[in-house]
Amino acid sequence: MKVNIYYGGRGMIDDPSLYVVNKIEEVLLELNVKLELFRLSELKNTITTLPASINDCDGIILATTVEWFGMGGFMHQFLDACWLYGNREKFATTYMCPVVVSKTFGERETMSDLISAWEILGGLPCNGIAAYVDDLKEFEADPAYNNLIEKTAENIYRTISQKTPYFPTSNQAIKQIVKKAPAMPLTREETEQLSQYAADESYVQKQKEDIAELTNLFKGMMENSGQDESIRFIPDLEGHFKPHGNVNAVYRFDLKEKKKSLIAEIVDSRLTCYYGENDSSDVKCRMDTKAMEQIISGRITLQKAFMTGMIQAKGDIKTLRLFDQIFDFSGEEG
């Protein structure tokens, strides 16, 4: 048996749906189920080819978070691709389990949307998970919640292995009406070519070239102004480092305009900053230099930048919050 997992969130450090997906994976692996995880945010330029990956599996899990209004855009794109390019005959024998774990409102409505979409595509839905999580640590530590997740995973296995039948639904009737726009009979090579067109790679490449040109221009302006780019931001971090008690942490900042990462390594409350590589960082942040400038100028904290989506972060959430306590930029604003 093979099950594919399509994760439509943004991969944020505190996304509770990732925790649920990991627990489901553990149970299914113990039952000797082959698993393959697709992170849609990392495959956004090839989403139109992903429906073909359903052809060799027995069931799928659609996992997503709830954005400000309903499911995120990546999951919408994937479902659109299934409608346009997917194999409807294969969908008809494929079970789908929805997983929606939210830190805001609307998780039940989003799960209902996933079920309706899969039924209209002709697929078979099975019982999933819709939950609201206020505190991820409390949720992870509650044995009752973990037991429910495990039972859901076991139910997925039973449903697929026993090919559980379902009563017909009105969504299946709707499918008969709207299927006048049939799936395109494309080969895998043709689908990949279509994906390149849909993603408009030439436009993306042109944008990258324009950004590179502007970056070089910006670097030249900075060099002319007498600022040493090789140590940029390092004096700011060193000058505002004010630890309380014994601190041990490693922060890695991947700045889009720089080839090397900015590393802030703290051992026994002693700070070392440099540009290079460190694979053992506690927190890894991806941002542009403009975001870093706002942080060191005191206009925004690292945690707020993460919560508002200005930066992306992975690692330990406690260590992320600690940054704003040990680096005091509060007096810089203005």
Residue 332 domain flag? no
Give the domain extent around 218.
201-225
Same domain assignment for residues 161 and 61: yes
Does residue 174 sit in the same domain as residue 312? no
Dump strand ranges (E) for 106-183: 124-125, 129-132
Residues 44 and 112 both lie in one domain:
yes
Same domain? 173 vs 98: yes
β-strand partners of 251: 264, 283
Q: In whole angstroms, what is the distance from residue 169 CA to residue 266 CA?
A: 59
Work out how many domains the chain is built from and give that number: 3
pLDDT at 14: 82
241-263, pLDDT tens digit by residue? Answer: 999 889 999 999 999 888 899 99
Q: State residue 220's pLDDT score.
A: 55
Side-chain-facing half-sphere of 137: CA atoms under 13 Å: 3
| Domain annotation covers residue 295 | yes
CATH code for position 313: 3.30.1050.10
DSSP string, 208-272: HHHHHHHHHHHHHHHHHTT--GGGTTHHHHHHTB---S---EEEEEEETT-SSEEEEEEETTEEE
- Residue pair 273/236 in contact by the 8 Å Cβ criterion: no
Q: How many residues does the chain have?
A: 334
Cα(34)–Cα(51) distance, rounded to whole angstroms?
A: 18
Do residues 6 and 129 make contact, with C-beta atoms less than 8 angstroms apart?
no
187 plus 284 within the same structural domain: no
Handedness of CA 38, 41, 42, 48 (dihedral sign): positive
Say if 50 falls within a structural domain. yes
Closest CA to 127 of 95, 105, 103, 101: 95
- Asked if residue 334 is part of any domain, the answer here is no
Beta strand pairing call for 34-39 and 124-125? unpaired
Looking at the structure, tell me whether residues 192 and 275 fall in a common domain: no
Q: Are residues 61 and 178 in the same domain?
A: yes
Residue 20, classed as helix, strand or coil, is helix
Residue with tokens 């774990």: 101
Cβ burial 287-317 (10 Å sphere, 16+ → b, else e): bebebbebbbeeebbbbebbeeebbbbebeb
The residue among 148, 180, 196 that closes a domain is 196
> Is 158 in the same domain as 259?
no
pLDDT tens digits, one per residue of 108-160: 999 999 999 999 999 999 999 999 998 989 999 999 999 999 999 999 999 99
Q: What phi, psi does 296 have (nearest 5°)?
A: -75, -15
CA pair distance 4, 88, nearest whole angstrom: 17
Q: What is the pLDDT of residue 232?
A: 87
- Whether residues 211 and 187 share a domain: the answer is no
User: What CATH number is given to the structural domain containing 20?
Assistant: 3.40.50.360
Residues 213 and 66 in one domain: no
Q: Give the pLDDT of residue 224.
A: 46
Query: Same domain for 69 and 207?
Result: no
Residue 162 domain flag: yes
Under-70 pLDDT residues of the chain: 171-208, 213, 215-229, 331-334
Residue 333 belongs to some domain of the structure: no
Are 46 and 61 in the same domain? yes
Cα(237)–Cα(219) distance, integer angstroms:
21
Given this model, what pLDDT does residue 294 score? Answer: 92
